[in-house]
Amino acid sequence: MQDLYIVVDAPEDWAPYYPSSELISVKDFLSLQVGKSAKAKVINLCRDYGYLGTGYYCSLLAEARGQRVIPSIRSITDLSNHHFYQLYDEMDEPLNKYLQQDNHALMTKIFFGQTSIPALEKIARQLFELYPCPILEVSFAHPVKWQIETIMPGSLVQLNEAEQSEFASAIDQYSRQIWRKPRSKKRYRFELAILCNSQEKLPPSDNKAIKNFIRAGNELGIDVDLIDANDYARLLEYDALFIRETTAIDHHTYRFAKRAESKGLVVLDDPDSILKCTNKVFLADLLNANGVPTPKTELLLRDSEFDYAYLEQQISYPGVLKIPDGSFSIGVVKVASREELQQQCAELFKKSAILLYQEYVKTDFDWRIGFLNNKPIYACKYFMARDHWQIYNHGNTGTSKSGGFESMPVHQVPKEVIKVASKAVKLIGDGLYGVDLKQLPDRNVIIEVNDNPSVDSGVEDQYMGYDLYLTIMGEFLRRLERQHIA
């Protein structure tokens, strides 16, 4: 088993440096068998870290396989969100101390936390701790006082000769160091914000459910406020954040979760869960790497030639094609022939560099098992929409119709369903999740794990009633009290 992979888009990107046995193209890296690459370290030097680009997927799948990768998906996402720069105002004082006042702008590159400017060595290390990335391009501006203007991931192929020497020295030193996660911070007060969007067409909780959460929180001694996307600046007034808006990585919900966690708030959904659950490519690879049963799945890369005969041998028609970050059955299509597969790939590749192609598993309903702190707390059957193959039928008129449902106590769910769902959840975290499964005569397969599961009045709470809201808010109270004791 290889201990380190240095991933590049093409071998020629590494031409200025000594040959390395650790070097691998991103195409070959993404195609590695999971068992042969588990637990390795990965240095991702791809040219494009943009959302759904090759560099993004390199880090995404490395994390799914349990590998330690730099940059992590969290770092890539944070670097694309300029909102985070304001969180680190404490750097202003050392910047003004170390930089001369007669300049008005400065740009420097940081290689694995190292810089060629001695006065900026401490700041370079701090920025690397905050944004672990092989190459950081940092711009400083001096409108009134020195401040960070931009922080971006740098490109290996754009380094000049002097920078190449600095990079070579830095990567050689870094590859021998211990990889570690930053320590988490904590806070100790008891006020909670629920992030929601009154304009959302398919919110995870309806108005009545939101009112039940507020009532339950109040009964447990937690002040509860409703906030929306415009309240980012108010977030630090609270001790806990409960996200009841559909989450996405390239979205304000992730920024809220990230900032809340960085400041020590108790958070559901936490940013790690959002990262793991909202991208189906990551989730499929994570489940596969850990032996959790799923439908047969193939990854399709936009810039690769497809062996349709091989795909048809692995997955018979009809098959299901998915974009990685769809929700509520959006971006999921069924294809019944090679022609349909080619047509739908052409359309969906406009949105993502990678698609999932899965076997179609036909059932009358999906199981939804709700988990909190790794314990099942509710169970539902979601039936397929009428005359449709999915739970949600998104019509051409822009309307969405869903099938029926049936709620029941967890102890009435087949034990094997709970066992498989529990195995999947433990790979994600200890938050609030909804696991979707299909039950077949010979097996149970995981369709997805939702980090932001529906809790609607009259649906998920049909069996437990108000106790479901008390259970969820009680977990916030438990975590807040645990922080207070600590």
CATH number assigned to the domain comprising residue 424: 3.30.470.20
Query: Which of 154, 174, 194 is the C-terminal boundary of a domain?
Result: 174
- Read off the pLDDT of residues 443-467 as tens digits, 9 standing for 90 and up: 999 999 999 999 999 999 999 999 9
DSSP assigned state of 243: E
Q: Is residue 455 part of a domain?
A: no
Predicted local confidence at residue 105, as pLDDT: 76
pLDDT of residue 157 exceeding 90: yes
Q: Which domain holds residue 72?
A: 4-76
pLDDT band at residue 387 under the 50/70/90 scheme: very low
Residue 34 C-alpha from the chain's centroid: 20
**Based on the domain organization, do 153 and 219 belong to the same domain?**
no
Is 97 part of a structural domain of the chain? yes
- Give per-residue pLDDT as tens, 269-323: 999 999 999 988 899 999 999 999 999 999 999 988 888 999 999 999 999 999 8
Supply the pTM of this predicted model.
Answer: 0.73
DSSP label of 67: -
What is the secondary structure of 91-138 as a DSSP string? GHHHHHHHS-TT-SEEEEEEETTB-S-GGGHHHHHHHHHHS--SEEEE
With a CB cutoff of 8 Å and minimum separation 6, the contacts of 130 are 78, 88
Same domain? For 66 and 128 the reply is: no
**374 found inside a domain:** yes
Question: Which residues are within 8 A (CB) of 26 and not within 5 positions of it... i.e. 6 or more apart?
Answer: 7, 8, 9, 46, 54, 55, 57, 58
> Which pair of structure tokens corresponds to residue 85?
């720069």
**Pick from 214-228, 347-361, 387-401: least confident:** 387-401
Last residue of a domain, one of 76, 104, 121: 76
Say whether both 97 and 160 belong to one domain: yes
Task: Tell me, yes or no, whether 84 and 169 share the same domain.
Answer: yes
Domain identity same for 63 and 87? no
The overall average pLDDT reported for the chain is: 87
Residues 203 and 254 in one domain: yes
Q: What is the mean pLDDT of residues 118-136?
A: 87
Residues 165 and 115 in one domain: yes
User: Cα 122 vs. chain centroid, distance in angstroms?
Assistant: 30
Neighbouring residues of 8: CB distance < 8 A, sequence distance ≥ 6? 14, 23, 24, 25, 26, 45, 46, 156
Q: Residue 402: pLDDT band by 50, 70, 90 thresholds?
A: low
At 66 the three-state DSSP class reads: coil
Does residue 179 lie within any of the structural domains?
A: no
Claim to verify: residue 20 and residue 69 sit in the same structural domain = yes
> Do 319 and 384 belong together in one domain?
no
Residue 473, SS3 per DSSP? helix
Evaluate the omega torsion of the peptide bond into residue 318 and state whether it is cis, within 30 degrees of 0.
yes
Domain count for the chain, please give it: 5
470 found inside a domain: yes
Same domain, 260 and 303: no
28-38 pLDDT, tens digit per residue, is 999 887 765 66
Least confident of 139-143, 177-181, 195-199: 177-181
CATH of the domain at 474: 3.40.50.20
Statement to judge: residues 87 and 39 lie in one domain: no
Q: Are residues 130 and 190 in the same domain?
A: no
Q: Can you give the CATH number for the domain in which 88 is found?
A: 3.30.470
In DSSP terms, 132 is beta-bridged to none
Q: Is residue 461 part of a domain?
A: no
Q: Which of 340, 359, 378 is the last residue of a domain?
A: 359
pLDDT at residue 190, rounded to an integer? 80
Q: Residue 351: which CATH number?
A: 3.30.1490.20
